[in-house]
Structure formats: structure tokens, C-alpha cells
Amino acid sequence: MSNVETIKFGYLASKGTAEVKEMPLPELKPDEVLIKQEACNICTTDYQQWQGLREHQGYPMAGGHECSGIVMEKGKDVKGTFEIGDRVSVVYDYCGYCEECMHGEVTSCENKKQFGKNYSDEYYGLFGFANYFVRPAKSLMKVRKDLPASQAGFVEPLSSVIQNMKKIRINAGRDTVVVIGGGTMGLLNAAAAKAMGARVIVSELMEKKLQIAEEMGFEIIDAKETDPVAKVKELTAGKGADIVIVAVGVTAANNQALEMVKAKDGKISLFSAGYPAPEISVDSNAIHYMRLELIGTFGSTLEDFSDAANMLSEGRVDVSKLIEQSIPLDNIQEAFELASKPGSYRVSVKLN
């Protein structure tokens, strides 16, 4: 039995203010697991609320959802699903019985709000920035034991990329995929597409991101030095990209994708949202005659989470270069300051 009685956790008290607090450890129920949480990466959703751009999510926000740790104790009903010492990554909480959950669409659960007060009457959020926490066993995915904690935290973002991969249906060894945007989610899409057999080209403006993309083994287009559309046509012998993934939420990128996709049976994945909302200028005749697919994707299914955990565990997707820096929990305010700087990759908060 664990002797942990209190937990220490990071939370957003208000715009621009991240603090650390202690509270009693919740009681372990029969279907739950006590996790010694080791690392939680700061997602765009997290730092945008810190910046005041997502205040509708509510304060105090005990957020963080790209989290991983070690099983310390389990309830009597968990049985052999998890064993003490297993490394796990956290999945959103969900009810398991609504229509969405019955189809595996757990990020659209009708009864558990994604960042609601599911674990506390006082705090919103998943308590990803807590050093210990008690969670339902169904809200965890097992990963390889020696996978570094910060890398294991990528199960959640990679799961949304996996859903995108399933929608764009890559033809291994044949398709050229262009990713517009070399941020964390852009390069995750690039890595997954390459693992699935595509030729991958990343178009980006920032020198730092171009360098990381090149180090990860992708062809690159420096969009500040050359016309990306013309370069894609050059690199594909005039054909254009089979698939374009728009991983930045801006109108210019959407319209650029229309110009660089091939003239027949091409696909454009609108992976990223943007605020204010981006637009896309295309008439229905063009979609009709090009047989063009405009693909929307959001969220993850349980299968996507499982596939993401397997891909990371097997080393098919390497996210080591997407971790900018590690910061201890006591310095969580500094961590949010670093994570919100333009061009940053993931900042990982070390919890123990």
C-alpha cells in the first residue's frame, strides 16, 4: 500500500499566473490506479489559457493532459490490466456508456467535459501537473517501461495525428505528403506520415524549425527564401503533392495548399484551427473537377490512443527533438513563460 497522503500540483490561478499547491490525495476506488506522475508537457491549449486566450475554460485550472507516470497502486477490480511498475500515459476521462464513447469517440464524451471539474469540485482540468494522482484504469494507456517520461507524454497529441493519418489514407511508397508548418503538431504529422511510408516535405518560415525538421529526416522548403508552391511542383516533377497537411491555422496556408496539391485526386487535411478563424478560397466546381478531398480532423478515439502508445513504444515515431526543455514543478510559472514563446516546441514539467 502507498503511504502517499497529499499531492503537489500546478494550476492556473488566473491569466498569466501559474502556481503550485498541495491537497489531500483522492481515495483510491476499486476501478482506479494511483500514478506517480513523472512528466507533463505544456500543450498549446495550456499556455494559451495562461496567455488569456482561452479564459472560457475556467479558473482555477489544474490542467495538463500530456502526462505520463508509473503505476504505484491499483484498486481490486483492476486485476491484470496494469501491474505495479508499469509506465502509463494519461487519456482524457470519459464515461464509457454514452453514444460517443460506445463508438470509441472518447474525446467527444457527452457526460464528461474534457477540461471540466471531473476530478474536483473546485478545480477544472485533469491534474496533469500533479506529482501523484488517482485515475480510472480505463483512462490510461500502457507504454514501454524505458520510454522517457516526457516522450511518453506524447501519446495524447500523437493520437490526434493518428486519426488524421487514417483519414488521409497514405499509399506507402507512392505518396508525397507536404506538411505546411514545422511546429510540434506539424512535425508529429510529418513523423507519422513518414512511418507510414510517405515521402515527406516540410514547408516552414522559421530557421529553428527548419533545422529540427531536417534533423528529423524530412525534406524541407524554406518558405521565406522560395515560393513553396513552385518548389513543391519542382520537387514532384510538376505533379504537385498527393496530400497536403495544413498544420498552421492561417488563411494563407489554406490557399497555398490548394495551389500545391495535385490536379486530380489530391487530398488536403485541415489539421489546425486558428484564431481568428482562417478562411479557404475554393469554389465547388474546382473540388468537383479535381476530385479533391478537403479533410477535417479533430480529437481521438480509444483506438487512436492505443495506436499512438504502440508507435511510441516501438520507436516508429521519435519525438525526442520535439522537447524544448524540462522544468521542475516548483518553477511552473517559468515553464509557461518558456512554452508560450513563439517557435517553442514542448516544455516538459518534471513532477517528481
For 91-180, where are the E strands, in sequence order?
132-136, 140-143, 176-180
Q: Is residue 82 part of a domain?
A: yes
Q: What is the CATH number of the domain that holds 134?
A: 3.90.180.10
pLDDT in tens, 192-207: 999 999 999 999 999 9
Q: Is residue 302 part of a domain?
A: no
Q: What is the mean pLDDT of residues 39-65?
A: 93
- CB 24: neighbour CB atoms within 10 A? 8
195 shares a domain with 173: yes
36 shares a domain with 100: yes
* Cell numbers standing for residue 257: 495548399
Tell whether the model's pLDDT for residue 348 goes beyond 90: yes
Q: Is residue 306 part of a domain?
A: no
113 shares a domain with 26: yes
pLDDT in tens, 291-323: 999 999 999 999 999 999 999 999 999 999 999
What is the band of 275 on the pLDDT scale with cuts at 50, 70, 90? confident
pLDDT in tens, 134-172: 999 999 999 999 999 999 999 999 999 999 999 999 999
136 shares a domain with 52: yes
Tell whether the model's pLDDT for residue 276 goes beyond 90: no
CA pseudo-torsion sign 150, 152, 157, 161: positive
Number of domains in the chain: 2
Q: Is residue 195 part of a domain?
A: yes
What are the residues whose beta carbons fall under 8 Å from the beta carbon of 4, sequence distance 6 or more? 25, 34, 72, 132
So what's the pLDDT on residue 1? 58
Site of grid cell 476499486: 30
So what's the pLDDT on residue 53? 87
193 shares a domain with 117: no
pLDDT in tens, 219-273: 999 999 999 999 999 999 999 999 999 999 999 999 999 999 999 999 999 999 8
So what's the pLDDT on residue 2? 72
Residues spanned by the domain of 181? 161-296
CA 32 to each of CA 74, 86, 125, 332: distance values in angstroms, whole numbers, following the listed order: 6, 14, 18, 27
Highest mean pLDDT among 92-96, 105-109, 266-270: 266-270
If you average pLDDT over every residue of the chain, what do you get? Answer: 96
Q: Is residue 286 part of a domain?
A: yes
Q: Is residue 247 part of a domain?
A: yes
Q: Is residue 310 part of a domain?
A: no
CA 142 to each of CA 19, 127, 146, 310: distance values in angstroms, whole numbers, following the listed order: 30, 19, 12, 9
268 shares a domain with 183: yes
272 shares a domain with 335: no
Q: How far apart are CA 209 and CA 193, in angstroms?
A: 18
181 shares a domain with 84: no
283 shares a domain with 170: yes
12 shares a domain with 118: yes
Q: Is residue 303 part of a domain?
A: no
Q: What is the CATH number of the domain that holds 239?
A: 3.40.50.720
166 shares a domain with 90: no
291 shares a domain with 201: yes
* Closest by CA position to 42, among listed 340, 313, 351: 340
